[in-house]
Amino acid sequence: MTNIDSLFDLRLDAAQQPTWPDAKKVEAVVTELKKLPPLVFAGEADALKAKIAQAQDGGAFWLQGGDCAETFAAATADSIRNRIKTILQMAAVLQYGASMPVIKVGRMAGQFAKPRSNDFEIRGDVKLPAYRGDAVNDLEFSESARTADPERLLRVYNTSAATLNLVRAFTHGGFADLRKVHEWNKGFIKDSKIGPRYEAMAKEIGRALDFMKSAGIEHDAITRVDFFSSHEALILDYERALARIDSRTDLAYAVSAHFIWIGERTRQIDGAHIDFASKVMNPIGVKLGPKTSPDEVEDLIKKLNPDNEPGRLTFITRMGATNIEEKLPPLIKRVNELGARILWVSDPMHGNTYEAPTGYKTRKFDDVIAEVTSFFKVHKELGTHPGGIHIELTGDDVTECVGGGEEISHEDLATRYESACDPRLNHTQSLELAFLVAQSLRDR
Ligand code: PEP
Ligand code: CO
């Protein structure tokens, strides 16, 4: 029987870890986390891997979305339901528009920790540790709030469990039934331009389902959906404590989520994060920014998927709208030369962030669209499958990204800016993006 405690190399450098003030307290929390039941099951991670393998072959599309940073306060029924509804709506648009299965994945039930460019935040003459997500400290700008507290990791576990419980109830309890495609739009702002377009599509889906029913075809698959959880595996005290040996296979799995990814700032080939990812069997992702070299990509593949296992490895590219057409092709070419099985996913958010004159961190909807459009173009030129998108979104009617059909301006950002970290697409912008991507998928 494999010993989980000796599996990970604790001597390696781990970037972006909190400065916990009290090592004893961390130890106590880790001991407690290790005793807790898994949040997800190894077999579910395997099922997701099989779906990713299908997408790698061009037979499915990956849709991953949710908050930049989940917060404990926003883990309410309304907020969770709105995010799920938004993702289900986007998936329906993509699936109907492109006639392709869509793999639905939430940046949800565990996305509580953030890497930061600066360790400190300065306001006036006060300098405090940066907010690193609810897993570590609190957004409020005070000494006590910004002090890292390992007890928060237990709250991450409990909040993730509660969120997943609701996600499972919604997606298996009738709410995600395709015949409810109309109802997912209820409660959202009606007068937006995108609403009628969605309603028209929902009507078509309804007619298609009625047609199937009249022909005697009733399929279980329309009544429930598989919805998977994912987050950035960042805080290694938490992730290692939530790794378990699968009793069926004697292999290690991360049981904090079905899918975990390693971020742009922590993907050092000899670092502790890549070591962790290399030793769990889950499907995993790695973010690739504009500075990534083909050699780095090759090293990651050799380390993370030496046997070229189908479904195992996803690259999430976040190049920026102005960089992608130059920076992405050399990486794809290297992967093709190696014959490596990769799911290519576009994150059109993280390479397109800037500070508005009003001081808010924002993104232009047009830049998001431009990066996705270039992503499709590059893959078309190289004959590879544009496998999916990775989006920061919320089901709420926030004003965090500028542009889109509602034409949110820099001045509008103050109206409802709620993100604890990066700006998210709101419900309308998310649906608009889905329609545009569906079109690109169809034209591919
Ligand atoms: C994120 O996904 O929120 C993030 C920090 O991304 P990246 O690692 O690509 O910067
Ligand atoms: Co982000």
Measured in angstroms, how far is the CA atom of residue 296 from the centroid of ligand 1? 18
**Residue of minimum CA distance from atom 4 in ligand 1:** 263
Can you tell me which residue has the tokens 């270039």?
A: 374
Atom of ligand 1 nearest to the CA of 115: 5
CA dist 184 → 52, 154, 191, 198 (Å):
26, 33, 16, 10
Give the residue, out of 71, 111, 350, with the most ligand 1 atoms within 8 A of its beta carbon, to mutate for a pocket test: 350
Taking a 5 Å cut-off on Cβ, the residues next to ion ligand 2 are 68, 422
Q: What is the pLDDT of residues 69-125, one digit of tens each?
A: 999 999 999 999 999 999 999 999 999 999 999 999 999 999 999 999 999 999 999
59 alpha carbon – ligand 1 mean position (Å): 27
Could you identify the atom of ligand 1 that is nearest to the CA of residue 114? 5
Closest atom, ligand 1, to C-alpha of 68: 3
Identify which ligand lies nearest to the alpha carbon of 112: 1
Ligand 1 centroid to residue 284 C-alpha, Å: 15
All structural domains of the chain with their residue ranges: 4-176+224-443
- The alpha carbon of 266 and the centre of ligand 1 are apart by a number of angstroms equal to 10
* φ, ψ dihedrals at 120, nearest 5°: -125, 155
The answer to pTM > 0.85 is yes
* Residue to mutate, 67, 230, 262, 347, ligand 1, most ligand atoms under 8 Å from C-beta: 347
What is the DSSP track for 19-47? --S-HHHHHHHHHHHHHSPPSS-HHHHHH
Pocket test for ligand 1, best of 107, 232, 291 (most atoms within 8 A of CB): 232
Per-residue pLDDT tens for 124-170? 999 999 999 999 999 999 999 999 999 999 999 999 999 999 999 99
Q: Tell me how far apart the 2 most distant CA atoms of the chain are, in Å.
A: 72
3-state secondary structure of 156: helix
Q: Mean pLDDT for the chain?
A: 96
Q: Which residues contact 440 (CB under 8 A, 6 or more apart)?
A: 372, 373, 376, 386
- Residue 147 CA to residue 336 CA, distance in Å, equals 46
Average pLDDT over residues 343-355: 98
Percent of the chain scored above 70 by pLDDT? Answer: 99
Q: Using a 6 Å CB cutoff, which residues line ligand 1?
A: 68, 115, 232, 263-265, 287, 318, 350, 422
Per-residue model confidence as pLDDT tens digits over 199-226: 999 999 999 999 988 999 888 788 889 9
Which residue carries 């450098």 as its tokens? 13
CA distances from 53 to 50, 57, 236 (A): 5, 6, 27
Q: Which ligand is nearest to the CA of 361?
A: 2
> How many angstroms is it from 217 CA to the middle of ligand 2?
43
Closest CA to 389 of 437, 352, 353: 437
Position 411 pLDDT exceeds 70: yes
Give the pair of three-digit tokens for residue 424.
Answer: 């998210």
For 325-337, letters b (16+ CB in 10 Å) and e give bebbbebbebbee
Angstrom distance (rounded) from CA 281 to CA 43: 11
Q: How far does the centroid of ligand 1 lie from the alpha carbon of residue 173, in Å?
A: 32
- Which numbered atom of ligand 1 lies nearest the CA of 316? 9
| CA of 317 relative to ligand 2 center, distance in Å | 13
Banded model confidence at residue 191, pLDDT cuts 50, 70, 90: low
Ligand 1 atom nearest to CA at 421: 3
CATH superfamily of 4-176+224-443: Aldolase class I (3.20.20.70)
Atom of ligand 1 minimally distant from the CA of 69 = 3
| DSSP of 79-122 | HHHHHHHHHHHHHHHHHHHHT--EEEEEEBSS------S-SEEE
Ligand 1 atom with least separation from CA of 266:
8
- Give the relative orientation of helices 294-304 and 272-279 as an angle to the nearest 10 degrees: 40
User: Using CA atoms, how far apart are residues 409 and 391, in angstroms rounded to an integer?
Assistant: 20
pLDDT at 424 over 90: yes
Distance 157 CA to ligand 2 centre (A): 21
Residue 236 phi/psi, 5° resolution? -70, -25
The tokens 């059109």 sit on which residue? 348
SS3 397: coil
Residue 190 is predicted with a pLDDT of 63
Better-predicted residue by pLDDT, 224 or 192: 224
For atom 1 of ligand 1, the residue with the nearest CA is 68
Residue with structure tokens 């926030």? 398
- Please, are residues 241 and 30 in contact by the beta-carbon 8 Å criterion? yes
Ligand 1, atom 10: closest residue by C-alpha = 264
pLDDT in tens, 301-336: 999 999 999 999 999 999 999 999 999 999 999 999
How many angstroms separate the alpha carbon of residue 1 from the centre of ligand 2? 38
Rounded distance, CA 321 to CA 199, Å?
31
pLDDT of residue 405: 86
Q: Which of 234, 261, 265 to mutate to test the pocket of ligand 1 (most atoms within 8 A of CB)?
A: 265
Ligand 1 atom with the shortest distance to the CA of 390? 2
- CA–CA dist 376, 185 (Å, integer): 28
10 burial via Cβ count (<10 Å: 0-12, 13-18, 19+) = exposed
